[in-house]
Amino acid sequence: MENTRIGDFEVGKITQGFFMIKSATVRMTTTNSEYMDFILSDKTGEVNAKWWEYKKELGDNFVVGALVKVRGMVTEWQGRLQFRVDRIRLIGPQDGVNPEDFVQTAPMKPEDMLGKILQYVIKIGNRDIKEIVSCALNEKKEKLMHYPAAMKNHHAIRSGLLYHILTMLSLAERVCQVYPHLDRDLLYGGVILHDLEKINEMDSNELGVVSGYTMEGMLLGHIVQGIKTIERIGRQVDADPEIVILLQHMLLSHHYEPEFGSPKRPMIPEGEILHYLDIIDARMYDMQKELEAVEEGQFSDRVWVLHNRQLYKYRKAEDEGKDVRAEG
């Protein structure tokens, strides 16, 4: 039997392939029998998998980040693909597979993305903001090269955090051209720093696979961790106390609502813009990712992170250079 990628799964077919475990949880059925609930992934996507015949003596081998060969039936549950596992084993040297072949990665090399981000840092004119941002990036440079921006949802891919920051900087540059009253230095600083402490909030391996949250990440979260980092570095570089507070406010307010982790809403224009740039980039990433698996003229499954909406993939004009507004 040929190996099949997740992107090529078809409902009703017995299928086998090589995958990476993104999550593995032992759960109980309604009859109090244990089963293993997986999220399996490869470069083409992810799929929920159920191992109903779970064997406890073998289950300890199947941990987050493990590479496995799986055989089973592709089914459908509530409109989404599901994989019923019949056989599963760890991948060995005899399989001749490369772990990086199973990891979804950012579309640019991390070295190139970091280089572009540093070009934005050079453009920061305020000495204090530049030094705080430079020190923070330098401290986290090694892990930043592979860290995702999230455990799930937007930019949960290898080097996803770099990609998220770079895309937001590109947006910020254009917004500052439209609204010249914005403090470009403050906005660039907020964009670079706003999610940087996710590196200490989550545990990720070099493949960008998150196994869970750190103790400090669970108890404090990346916003509080980020505020602490700005305070510490600000003292090291003898930064203006007002600059330190403004950067801290940017981080504190960028989730906008208390239920999402921000006890304060933005009270400066740059904070307001930072919030919406974050939302735009996250939403566009999630929408693009979801629509990649949808045929033209069809709707996606409901997307929980997008308020349980279905997305529609329309047919684009064949002549991309044609001004369709001139017709009719």
Task: Choose between 297 and 141: higher pLDDT.
Answer: 141
What residues contact 15, with CB distance under 8 A and at least 6 apart?
A: 4, 9, 71, 72, 73, 74, 83
Residue 66 dihedral angles phi and psi, to the nearest 5°: -70, 145
* Cβ contact 11:80 at 8 Å: no
pLDDT at 326: 39
Domains located in the chain, CATH noted: 6-102 (2.40.50.140), 110-286 (1.10.3210)
What's the CA gap between 117 and 321, in Å, rounded?
32
DSSP string, 160-215: HHHHHHHHHHHHHHHHHHH-TTS-HHHHHHHHHHTTTTHHHHEEE-TTS-EEEE-H
Between the two ends of the chain, the Cα-to-Cα distance in Å is 53
Segment 193-243, tens digit of pLDDT: 999 999 999 999 888 888 889 999 999 999 999 999 999 999 999 999 999
* pTM score, whole prediction: 0.81
What's the CA gap between 81 and 11, in Å, rounded?
7
**Residue 72, SS3 per DSSP:** strand
Closest of 106, 36, 28 to residue 68, by C-alpha: 36
**Residue 321, SS3 per DSSP:** coil
Confidence band of 318 (pLDDT split at 50, 70, 90):
low
pLDDT at 300: 80
What is the number of other CB atoms lying within 10 angstroms of the CB of residue 274?
A: 26
Task: Choose between 304 and 206: higher pLDDT.
Answer: 206
Mean of the per-residue pLDDT values of the chain: 89
pLDDT at 325: 39
